[in-house]
Amino acid sequence: FTGATDPLMERFNESLSFDKRLWKVDIEGSCAYARALCKAGIITSEESKAMVDGLGKVAKEWESGIFEIKDGDEDIHTANERRLGEIIGSVAGKLHTGRSRNDQVATDVRLWLKQECMVIRSLLVELLKTAANRAESEVDLLMPGYTHLQPAQAIRWSHWMLCHASKWKRDLERLDDLVKRVDVMPLGSGALAGHPFGLDRASLAKDLNFAQITTNSLDAVSDRDFIAEFLFFASMLGIHFSQWSEDLIIYGTAEFGYVKQSDAYSTGSSLMPQKKNPDALELLRGKSGRSIGQLVGLLTVLKGLPSTYNKDLQEDKELLFDCVDTLHATIPISTGVLSTLEPVGSAMSSGLHGEMLATDLADYLVRKGVPFRETHHIAGEAVALAEDKGCSLTDLTYTDLAPLHELFEPDVTDVWQMEASVEARSAAGGTSKEAVLKQARDLRDSLE
């Protein structure tokens, strides 16, 4: 290249403005690489020590906030290497022997994301523990369960909480699974064709605490599957937060009144003084779209790339960084909302309508040997009878029900009890008290 670079191109091309957050892992990778070069006999032990010591001084400058970014610092890798050269002299030029920014950046991002996954995991575990604890302590509260947003059957409030916790648990499992594919070291792959100096990559991986090394150098420098997987995990978690938030937004309206949200996670209206807005929940719902957009954005970048490294891959980091930052907010906010949420038992009880026991009436006859398809029809006749009489289903007496089927007996009115209805659902995963408590125990045990 003999011509000067257009200043606009320099700004367009640089990534230091956002990848500088990788400074620590970049230095960790370079220190390990210096030791590996020494072990391979490419540099002397004195040169390796000078590099490691110099990089330590660079790290201190970043830590103290005095690192000076200069013109020409295109990215975190060139910035750190330039500063290392200023500290230790020309020997710093040997650090990049056999290494490309292609395998360097791929290594840095994996190191960084692996650490972030552990932080995010601990946040998710705290959320799940909160759900398990609340489910146990509030297991006696009954509420309406809905399908198609229509009242369906009675359930336990705790059962509803554990419904969403089950989704979050799957998210945790997805995170644990994808970490295995993050924990792979590409360093030593060079620009694309591999390392020419007999570098012991397995030893280098051990030094950097990677579980394994990449098996193909062409793939190693271009693989961003692990980022796509992480963004998918974040998208699913965001969707689950959105669904949970939507439930709570509805349950918190004046028309329902099943829950009251803490002032700590609500705001008032700038115009209407009586308003208490569920802003935390609405933002959780909204940010799910942001996560989905980040996933689609990366997949669109990746879909048409030719083999090995292309500059398009620089677009992975801003999407990833923003996604991680968002999770650092959404998970603790969700934990805060859940831990401070106040259920209103009286409103939940008021929402338990007699018609929700229609299936229990059908089940009464099933227990006497009548086929369910027939009992379903009979229960429908009972609902129609209650409508004709202008009363609730639970106001019907044995005398009212007896003409509908010969197996109805005086004890049929025992089914008009919401507690009995939920207790009948005692199979694993159901809404009976013991089934719900077991779900909470199992959830907590899985987190140990």
Supply the residues annotated as catalytic: 148, 269
**Which CA distances in Å does 410 have to 64, 108, 179, 413?**
81, 74, 60, 7
Q: Which residues is 18 bridged to in the sheet?
A: none
Q: How far apart are CA 128 and CA 126, in angstroms?
A: 5
Residue with tokens 């290594």: 107
Q: How far apart are CA 428 and CA 434, in angstroms?
A: 9
**Which CA distances in Å does 6 have to 12, 82, 124?**
10, 22, 46
Residue with tokens 């089934």: 435
Side-chain half-sphere of 339: how many Cα atoms within 13 Å? 12
CA neighbor of 242 nearest in space, from 132, 330, 135: 330
CB neighbours of residue 146 within 10 Å: 15
Helices and strands of the chain, counted as H and E runs: 18, 8
